[in-house]
Structure 1
Amino acid sequence: MKRKEFIKGTAATTALLSLGGITSLAFKPENRKKITILHTNDVHSHIEAFKPDAGRNANLGGIARRATIIENIRRENPNTLLLDAGDIFQGTPYFNFYGGELEFKLMSMLKYDAATIGNHDFDNGIEGLYAQLPHAQFPFISSNYDFSNTIMDGKTKDYKTFEKDGIKIGVFGLGIELDGLVGKKLYKETQYLDPIEIATDMSQKLKHEKNCDLVICLSHLGFKYNGKQISDVKLAQATQDIDLIIGGHTHTFLEKPAIITNKAGEKVLINQVGCYGLYLGKLDFYFENKKKTGAEGVKISVK
């Protein structure tokens, strides 16, 4: 799944963001460290690129093209994490035929570091999700689904920490409420826990007990709603220890990361790159002496 040339002219959008009151990234001291976060969401079993006659999606996407982009970014900066915000399953005949096996195998080949669980990942039932886990050589992080009385008990992690170039990164995951969205017979006794309460606990643990320099929430809650439903925006506003929310579910194509003020008056980034693997999200976080000094957000067209 390698191509000879790295993608050029990606029509990417870059956002220069201010974190911790430092607004300039022009000055580059020797002790600056850069951590790159790559992410996808709602790929929905789209293995191949869209055909030339696919309208606005023409010639976009495809696992092979994504692999080439990721490989080149990792070559540029080995201090890179690759994450997915759920809804890996459902959307093409590949899922109908293979039941998710191919998706997990290919993500493993791309060396995903972690993923969370979306509502469509239950489309073959909780047993169908469980059956495909041996093909996933990466952990599933799900903090607010209690699988205690199901076949998935013990098969997910509440959180996971990574270390890149001395920078400690904590990741936890949140899923959307399944009741009313997914048939009860598909998710069985899975219990949905309040995402704001869980996020508060998880982010506090990662930031202050595990001493993480960067805390990431992998969310399949949805970017924003008009009603009272918990979204990424409401989550950011109601918590205080999250640095980045990587979103999914609403298929929201953000041109640049959204910047939300949290309950402590600090900035939280939210990013989501639509659906179907059309784009790859890329965020670069900069640190000096383990303190965040800035970030750049890029949306890369997979073509």
Structure 2
Amino acid sequence: MKRRDFIEKTAASTALLSLGLPLTSFTSSETKHLTILHTNDVHSYIDPFPADHPRNPNMGGVVRRAALIESIRKENPNVLLLDAGDIFQGTPYFNYYGGELEFKLMSMMQYDASTIGNHDFDNGVEGLYAQMSHAKFEFLSANYDFKNTVMDGFAKPYKIFNKNGIKVGVFGLGIELNGLVDKAMYKETVYNNPVEAAQDMVRILKKEQKCDLLICLSHLGYKYKDEPNKICDLKLAELTQDIDLIIGGHTHTFLDKPTVIKNLVGKEVLVNQAGCYGINLGRIDFYLDNNKELASKGTSIIV
């Protein structure tokens, strides 16, 4: 319990590394700047990898991620911090605390929203529900219907954030659970077509709510070489319109910078994913001018 108390008290410490990236600002003082920070598939990795780890020595860890996030917030206060699912499962922290610690630490880091991954059902839909009181951020899923489960009302299809006058619509999409998760774990949760759900979100957020920026938190996976017809982030980008950024998860894909895809009407969509286990923190910077024209740049930062 002493270790648990220490982790919870130090996770949001800002006394560690200052690792923010310098930004080149637009010359116009009218330009608005929004920074999107994101993680995915952290899988209960609270501590950094050990120094003798063959692939990821000393990488990751909640304390260092918290310090990095804090340093970026000092650089630009207009930040959205998002997660693309699979918060649970992977270390004894989950086995012992059932997700309580993960949600508390994310709340201390002031995450704004997360979608729900397949491993977030590993203690069943009841296990996910049991931890919801520890999460001080939104859970977003536009294609999981929880109405006949205990999770009914605890996940919203979308959330609108206003950052420095930029109206940002964020919605979530989850992967098909059948075949990945035992039916007994997700029970009456209904999976709906993610492309159709995304189109509904675009209609609401872009057409009706007039959002300046649309972000999809996706746990569909980046792409599937062996299953070319399976829906994934790249296909979602191609089959829809008006989504500016897809933040992905599930496939543990490490991208140095976002992939740029042409959407249904030939406009560019950014698709990004930050690997897994909290090793990287994804960062996308958007700039909005007086005509609400967007410019962006993105990278992944090693934590």
Cα deviation 1:7-60 (Å, max 9, x = unaligned): 44x8x8x9x9xxxxxxxx775211011000000000000000000011121100
In the alignment, does 2:90 pair up with 1:91?
A: yes
TM-score (norm 2): 0.93
Cα deviation 1:76-107 (Å, max 9, x = unaligned): 11110000000000000000000000000000
Counterpart of 1:124, as a letter, is N
Counterpart of 1:293, as a letter, is L
Counterpart in the other structure of 2:219: 220
Match of 1:81, SS?
A: strand
Provide the rounded CA distance (Å) in 2 between the counterparts of 1:27 and 1:169: 20
How far 1:290 sits from its partner (Å)? 5.3
Equivalent pair of 1:204/1:241 in contact (CA under 8 Å): no
Equivalent pair of 2:171/2:201 in contact (CA under 8 Å): yes
Match of 2:119, SS?
A: helix
Counterpart of 1:211, as a letter, is K
TM-score (norm 1): 0.93
Label 1:186 to 1:30 Cα distance change in 2 as closer, same or farther (>3 A): same
How far 1:208 sits from its partner (Å)? 1.2
How far 1:6 sits from its partner (Å)? 3.3
Counterpart in the other structure of 1:295: 296
How far 1:176 sits from its partner (Å)? 0.1
- Worse-matched range after superposition: 245-254 or 203-212: 203-212
How many equivalent residue pairs?
290
Counterpart of 2:297, as a letter, is E
Counterpart in the other structure of 1:68: 67
Match of 2:131, SS?
A: helix
Equivalent pair of 2:14/2:71 in contact (CA under 8 Å): no
In the alignment, does 2:102 pair up with 1:136?
A: no
How far 1:244 sits from its partner (Å)? 0.2
Equivalent pair of 1:167/1:290 in contact (CA under 8 Å): no
For structure 2, which runs of at least 5 residues remain unmatched after alignment? Answer: 1-9
Counterpart in the other structure of 1:158: 157
Cα deviation 1:174-198 (Å, max 9, x = unaligned): 0000001100000000000000000
Equivalent pair of 1:113/1:138 in contact (CA under 8 Å): yes
Counterpart in the other structure of 1:173: 172
**Cα RMSD, aligned residues only:** 1.6
In the alignment, does 2:250 pair up with 1:239?
A: no
Label 1:27 to 1:170 Cα distance change in 2 as closer, same or farther (>3 A): closer
Match of 2:106, SS?
A: helix
Match of 2:64, SS?
A: helix
How far 1:4 sits from its partner (Å)? 2.8
For structure 1, which runs of at least 5 residues remain unmatched after alignment? Answer: 17-24
Larger RCO (CA under 8 A, 6+ residues apart): 1
Equivalent pair of 2:14/2:70 in contact (CA under 8 Å): no
Fraction of identical pairs, as percent: 63
Match for residue 15 of structure 2 among 4, 8, 13: 4
Equivalent pair of 1:200/1:239 in contact (CA under 8 Å): yes
Label 1:178 to 1:30 Cα distance change in 2 as closer, same or farther (>3 A): same
Counterpart in the other structure of 2:263: 262
Provide the rounded CA distance (Å) in 2 between the counterparts of 1:212 and 1:55: 45
